[in-house]
Amino acid sequence: MTEWFNETLYKDIAQRFTVSRVIFRERTEHQDLVIFENPVMGRVLALDGVIQTAEGDEFIYHEMLTHVPILAHGSAKRVLIIGGGDGGMAREALKHAAIERVTMVEIDRGVVDLCATHIPSIGAEAFKNPRLDLVIADGAAFVKSCADRFDVIIIDSTDPQGPGAVLFTRAFYADCKRCLRPGGILVTQNGVPFLQPDELKNTAERLKSLFADTAFYVAAVPTYYGGFMAFGWGSDSAAARRVAADEIARRCAAARIETRYYTPELHVGCFALPRFMRDLMGA
Ligand code: SAM
């Protein structure tokens, strides 16, 4: 009898994965966590019934939410990750030797410990890296009182429900903006616009009210099904977003990072958006 994991993110449409083996399942302090194995995607993490990350395609999401802002910035030394409990975002950010510190603020210790134990391929190495500062706290509370300043802030959150809801508010984005150094860049996990149009519309409105330069870029991540996944972008100038492809290629070569999805050409091309997304953004 085949067992299925049925994702519960949407009311009228759903994806499902066969479950070869349940590796771990428990209610952590904040959310229901399950780690299971699937023949196509490998080990998969789901929180509150929503797929968070899978061994099979996590590289796409983690590469695009780190290398695009870090290489666009060009001289990032301090990176802040909000969420990111599986460790994949920290892994990719730490590939940049020029980055001195990565601070990762994850609300749920259980996600960090269980992913390091049961899906070590994604982030276990990152958690051992001396340049990583792991803080177990609510990301919104952290940026509200944080005295540190960062060159890149990455919001690697769950969807805007449960503990992740606060990470999509204008107040949170305003606190993130205050924690950016001049020329700093904020990027956000911003859902799949074809199925979550309000997430794009709302973030666009909120970021536009705070940042001189607001944009979105995209990547196709199979486990975040429904078409392109959108990433929000806020900065105090468009300069970083408009760095020419040959300069991005030079920076990428100098950083000597190994990638499986990100390329300098894709870095420039991923900001070209479908008309329906531009309409949702009011662009
Ligand atoms: N790639 C996934 C996606 O796009 O949906 C996100 C993966 S990561 C596992 C999401 C993390 O955000 C989880 O570990 C969750 O515990 C964390 N999180 C949710 N709300 C948070 C908050 N308010 N502060 C810090 N971390 C939070």
Same domain, 42 and 20: yes
Atom in ligand 1 nearest the alpha carbon of residue 166: 23
Q: Which ranges in 119-186 belong to alpha helices (H)?
A: 120-127, 139-145, 170-178
Nearest-Å Rg of the Cα atoms of the chain is 18
Domain count, the chain: 2
Q: Are residues 74 and 173 in the same domain?
A: yes
Question: 212: domain CATH number?
Answer: 3.40.50.150
Q: Residue 47 sits in a domain of what CATH number?
A: 2.30.140.10
225 has pLDDT over 90: yes
Residues 74 and 203 in one domain: yes
Cα 50 to ligand 1 centre (Å): 11
Identify whether residues 69 and 45 lie together within a single domain.
no
Question: Do residues 270 and 179 share a domain?
Answer: yes
Q: Which of 35, 54, 73 is the last residue of a domain?
A: 54
Residue 162, phi then psi, degrees to nearest 5? 60, -145
Distance from the alpha carbon of residue 222 to the mean position of ligand 1, in angstroms: 18
Nearest to 86 by CA among 138, 49, 43, 48: 43
Asked if 50 and 62 sit in the same domain, the reply is no
Nearest to 213 by CA among 183, 178, 189: 183
Tens digit of each residue's pLDDT (9 = 90 or more) over 56-110: 999 999 999 999 999 999 999 999 999 999 999 999 999 999 999 999 999 999 9
Phi first, then psi, for residue 54 (nearest 5°) are -140, 145
Whether residue 125 sits in one domain with residue 44: no
- pTM beyond 0.95: the answer is yes
- Residue to mutate, 52, 136, 158, ligand 1, most ligand atoms under 8 Å from C-beta: 158
What confidence score (pLDDT) does residue 239 get? 96
Task: Kindly state whether residues 86 and 47 are assigned to the same domain.
Answer: no
Q: Which residues line ligand 1 (CB under 6 A)?
A: 47, 52-53, 61, 82-86, 105-108, 111, 138-140, 156-159, 163-164, 166-167, 189
Same domain, 78 and 112: yes
Cβ-Cβ contacts under 8 Å for 236 (sequence gap 6 or more): 180, 182, 183, 184, 211, 212, 213
Residue range 245-271, pLDDT digits in tens: 999 999 999 999 999 999 999 999 999
Q: Residue 40 belongs to what domain range?
A: 4-54
Contact 90, 129 (CB under 8 A): yes
